[in-house]
Structure 1
Amino acid sequence: MSTVGSERTVEDTETVQQEILRFLESRTRVTWEPDTDLFKDGGQSSLFAMELVVHLEKSFDVSIRGTDLRLDNFRTVTVMTSLVTRLRQAAGNQDG
């Protein structure tokens, strides 16, 4: 991977993370850290996890299906960012 590609990947990852944090804060009125478990100790519900799925699909033009629909993929902003990045890269590889 080239340096420009690496820099773009970092920039894209940061943009994804910031967007997810903005969404969470607007929906919950709580400021979240990227590695905070959103569902630990009853913090958020499984229904909220489905809202996250819909938001990620619409905001980042990805399709979350099959084994990617595990709750563990939505526990933290860091994990969701990795999921979106991986799905975008896979979609890019299929297009090219």
Structure 2
Amino acid sequence: MTTPAQTPRSQDLDRIESELIAFLEGRTRASWDEDVDLFATGGLSSMFAMELVVHLEQTYGVSIRGGDLKLDNFRTVRTMADLVRKLTADKDTDG
């Protein structure tokens, strides 16, 4: 059985997730999955979360402001990748 090729969107999300996992593992010296709640497991402190915001902004050229700074956008690698993808798409449509 053949599987359909990934769409560019899913390839972008996979790449972002992989990069975020590598960053987290390098900083925390622990292994992380895409759907693990980083706060509930003690993987992130509020100070590290702010460092993560700066990392996302600098690495992906996005600006995380206002309502995008809510905790739910940073709970898992997957939600962070979704946020980056959304902000990147918003930036592309803004010009």
> What amino acid maps onto 2:75 in structure 1?
R
Aligned residues: 90
* Cα RMSD for the two superposed structures: 1.3
Trace 1:31-46 onto structure 2 (pairs within 5 A).
Answer: 31-46=31-46
Identity of aligned residues (%): 50
Pair 1:78-2:62 in alignment? no
* Higher helix proportion: 1
Unaligned residue ranges in structure 1 (runs of 5+): 1-5
For normalisation by structure 2, the TM-score amounts to 0.89
Q: Is the 8 A contact 2:28 2:43 kept in 1?
A: no
SS in 2 for 1:40: coil
Structure 1 runs (4+) deviating above 3 angstroms are none
Trace 1:1-96 onto structure 2 (pairs within 5 A).
Answer: 7-95=7-95
For normalisation by structure 1, the TM-score amounts to 0.88
Q: CA deviation at 1:43?
A: 3.5
Q: CA deviation at 1:59?
A: 0.7
